[in-house]
Amino acid sequence: MEHRHVGHSGLKLSALTFGNWLTQGVDSDRRAAERCIKTALDLGITSFDTADVYAHGAAEECLGAALKGVRRESVVVMTKVFWPSVPAPRGPNEVGLSRKRIMEAIDASLRRLGMDHVDVYQAHRYDLFTPLEETMQAFADVVRSGKAHYIGVSEWTAEQIRAGHKFAQQMGVPFISNQPQYSALYRTIEAEVIPTCVELGMAQVVWSPMAQGVLSGKYLPGTPPPQGSRALDTASGGADMIARWLNDDVLEAVQKLRPLADDLGITLSQMALAWVLKNPNVATALIGATRPEQIIENVKAAGFELPQAVVDQVDAILKEVAITDPALVAKSTPSARPA
């Protein structure tokens, strides 16, 4: 397993990170989750990502239980704060990035994880309704208290990253990471966010590198989604996330990638992950799994050097269906406080 530095920091992440959004905590078999995480560890994955909002905290509990007994120093654990971590009804301060929210949320996450610290604590979204200086002071205090080693953000615009980074540097706890959606089909961070992060010494911890599984090639044009796939997962929101990709022009373009993968002797999933990892500003790509076999397949992409000629061919094939508009990054910032 390849390990990469996160920006200019000394922290290293495995090139693939096990993330448990949508896959653990919601009516999931805890034993199956533990098998997946054990497989990830056995294959050299040392970084794990979760968030307090995932399954209303159950995902953090699931990850903590699965890592119990693993030497803490040997793994990197990342979690996030912003969205409500408890179902409604809830109080008006149980969302966002106020000092109250952050200080209470980190303690709650640590209780669920069964740990005394996380390695990276990330702002899950930008908060328009809290002064940025208040947010950054709270994050700095979390680090100084020893409850987190590093801080980062998720789905912030280049302008937001630059403003937050300025405060963070002044407080002696600079940002090291940004966690955006990024894949060969979704490339909105390339024009502005990545150049800003390169300049500021930050790296990308990318989610959905396979576009919710569409780049695996298992969804075929003119054919209903396979049973058990994310496209049919209405309970935890998977179906909503993947809906944008389930049109024939996208699915037909993805199928045109198959000969490229076949020529390289890899799967479409492995090629999608290798495409993301080709970007030098990407420290790690998040993968999820409900079965160990999925991890075994995906881990083969780590360290696989995708030839530039193939990257160019992938880009050409997906050019008409890929989403690239940098203005879409700002749409991730909630314009109103979640109720």
Strands in 36-194 per DSSP E: 47-49, 76-81, 118-123, 148-153, 175-178
H or E element at residue 170: helix 158-170
Structure tokens at 184: 């060969």
Distance in angstroms (rounded) separating the CA atoms of residues 334 and 332: 6
Q: Is 54 one of the annotated active-site residues of the chain?
A: yes
Over residues 313-337, the pLDDT tens digits come to 999 999 999 999 999 999 999 998 8
In the beta sheet, which residues pair with residue 287? Answer: 18
pLDDT for 231 equals 53
Range of the domain at 145: 3-332
Amino acid residing at 124? H
Q: Indicate if the pLDDT at residue 283 is higher than 70.
A: yes
Structure tokens at 322: 């890929």
- The pLDDT confidence band at residue 262, using thresholds 50, 70 and 90, is very high
Strands 148-153 and 118-123, sheet pairing = parallel
Kindly state whether residue 231 falls inside one of the protein's structural domains: yes
- The pLDDT confidence band at residue 29, using thresholds 50, 70 and 90, is low
Mean pLDDT of 10-19: 97
Q: Specify the higher pLDDT residue, 21 or 249.
A: 249
Kindly state whether residue 322 falls inside one of the protein's structural domains: yes
Kindly state whether residue 313 falls inside one of the protein's structural domains: yes
pLDDT for 236 equals 56
Mean of the per-residue pLDDT values of the chain: 92
Residue whose entry in the numeric block shows the structure tokens 């560890």: 41
Kindly state whether residue 339 falls inside one of the protein's structural domains: no
Q: Indicate if the pLDDT at residue 160 is higher than 80.
A: yes
Q: Which of 124-133, 230-239, 256-265 has the lowest mean pLDDT?
A: 230-239
pLDDT for 244 equals 86
Distance in angstroms (rounded) separating the CA atoms of residues 202 and 99: 24
Mean pLDDT of 198-205: 98
- The pLDDT confidence band at residue 289, using thresholds 50, 70 and 90, is confident
pLDDT for 237 equals 59
- Do 93 and 101 touch, CB atoms closer than 8 A? yes
Kindly state whether residue 118 falls inside one of the protein's structural domains: yes
Kindly state whether residue 106 falls inside one of the protein's structural domains: yes
Over residues 96-129, the pLDDT tens digits come to 999 999 999 999 999 999 999 999 999 999 999 9
pLDDT for 20 equals 86
User: For residue 33, what is the domain's CATH number?
Assistant: 3.20.20.100
- The pLDDT confidence band at residue 234, using thresholds 50, 70 and 90, is low
Kindly state whether residue 338 falls inside one of the protein's structural domains: no
Distance in angstroms (rounded) separating the CA atoms of residues 318 and 14: 28
pLDDT for 116 equals 97
pLDDT for 39 equals 94
Kindly state whether residue 142 falls inside one of the protein's structural domains: yes
- The pLDDT confidence band at residue 251, using thresholds 50, 70 and 90, is very high
Over residues 31-87, the pLDDT tens digits come to 788 889 999 999 999 999 999 999 889 899 999 999 999 999 999 999 999 999 988
- How many domains does the chain divide into? 1
